[in-house]
Amino acid sequence: MIEDIFHIKSETDFQQKCLETFRYQYQNIEVYRKFCDYLKINTNEIDEVEKIPFLPIETFKNHLVLDKVFDFAQTDKPVNFFQSSGTTQIQTRSKHFIADFSLYEESIYKSFEQFIGKPEDFIFIGLLPNYSENPHSSLIYMVDFLMKKSGKPENGYFLYNHKELLELLNKLNDKKVILFGVSFALLDFLDFLHSNAQTLKFSNALTIIETGGMKGRKEEMTKDELLKIFKKGFGTERIFSEYSMTELLSQAYSLGENIYETPNWMRVLIRNAEDPFSYVEDGRNGAINIIDLANRHSCSFIATQDLGRIINNPEILRDAQNDKNDFEVPRFARNDDNDLFLELENARNDKEKFGFEDESVKMLREPQHDKTPIQNKRFQVLGRIDHSDIRGCSLLVS
């Protein structure tokens, strides 16, 4: 049952739900089936998550990505969809058709509760210009839903009326307030404070959740630089980030340091930017693939154009920054008993390359047990994979 995705407790559960979802979507989502067939995918050979094909996110711009059971053309149901915000008049915008809003709402609530707290405990303020003007914004739907759950009379949106926003924040300085804001709008608000010599009554009860969204409106900067500006300007360490997009029904959250975590029904994998069918090891930069099991009726396996890396610990982070060498991704295979083994070719001869001692190699060859803990990993978002220069790296989309 699809509702079981919100009760995943183990890695085995997650893997099973992914494979079940893949088979369902291959059968029921026409554009995904055509994509797999074009790649000559034998569905019987898809026995682990790493083998599942990921649909390029651009597909949502030009194709209907929807479960045939909910084909709006064949029913009298209203057409419901989320649409991305375009930066130009001629830009083709993504459309994500929604068969079941309850999946999105449950995903919103459970993710927010897991990483931030119960929505009922907060006042929600939205500083989301452009998005507020988009009647099909998934971000506005999310904030609306959280406001509804909160039920606080102070909940509301602001566009460019910074003076009124300042007055409200100062009035609520002893309340638990969440300020959802796109990056450029938060910067505009801080510019207003500086230009008008205004001050914000700093409070530890104020939490900023930035949702990205520079869209060329401000000078481009790294996420780390942006977070430093927000911490100084708002006078709080509680500068959080939310990561999602029109094509997803789930959200990842960062509670600081640009390191995101996902709920148990969502996962990020990092593919090789030059070979979309292979993955890089933890700590290396690559393109972000996203598994979102809440996308039951569209596509749960999406290859994005975002650049990122998996972060397991500070040592990996330092290695990723200093070590530019390529690394062959370990391959997975199954033995006759269907136990999962890590296959490290010539591992003993390449100990120095892989950094494993004999006991470590032995440990990695041990079968994985049925109820292993969920293996969600933290990740960073570093930029976009396009023709622009991203932190000194010129990358092209295949």
DSSP state string for 82-109: EEPPPSSTTPPPPEEE-S-HHHHHHHHH
How large is the average pLDDT for residues 199-225?
Answer: 79
pLDDT of residue 221: 76
How large is the average pLDDT for residues 327-332?
Answer: 33
pLDDT of residue 313: 67
User: CA angle, corner 244, sides to 375 and 21, nearest 5?
Assistant: 55
Q: How far apart are CA 183 and CA 221, in angstroms?
A: 11
Can you say whether the dihedral through the CA atoms of 88, 90, 94, 95 is positive or negative?
A: positive
Confidence band, pLDDT 50/70/90 cuts, at residue 337: very low
- 344 pLDDT above the threshold of 60: no
Q: Are strands 286-292 and 301-311 parallel, antiparallel or unpaired?
A: antiparallel
pLDDT of residue 70: 83
pLDDT of residue 353: 39
- 326 pLDDT above the threshold of 60: no
Which domains, ranges and CATH numbers included, belong to the chain? 102-259 (3.40.50.980)
Q: How many CB atoms lie within 10 A of CB 294?
A: 25
How large is the average pLDDT for residues 98-108?
Answer: 95
Dmax (CA) for the chain in angstroms is 71
> In this predicted model, what pLDDT tens digit does every residue of 127-170 receive, in sequence order?
998 787 788 999 999 999 999 999 999 999 998 899 999 999 99
> In this predicted model, what pLDDT tens digit does every residue of 241-250 receive, in sequence order?
999 999 999 9
Does residue 363 contact residue 369 with C-beta atoms inside 8 Å?
no
> In this predicted model, what pLDDT tens digit does every residue of 26-36 receive, in sequence order?
999 999 999 99
For tokens 């989320």, the residue is 82
Q: How many CB atoms lie within 10 A of CB 254?
A: 23
pLDDT of residue 133: 78
End-to-end CA distance of the chain: 36
pLDDT of residue 99: 92
> In this predicted model, what pLDDT tens digit does every residue of 264-313 receive, in sequence order?
999 999 999 989 899 999 999 999 999 999 999 999 999 999 999 999 86
pLDDT of residue 42: 96
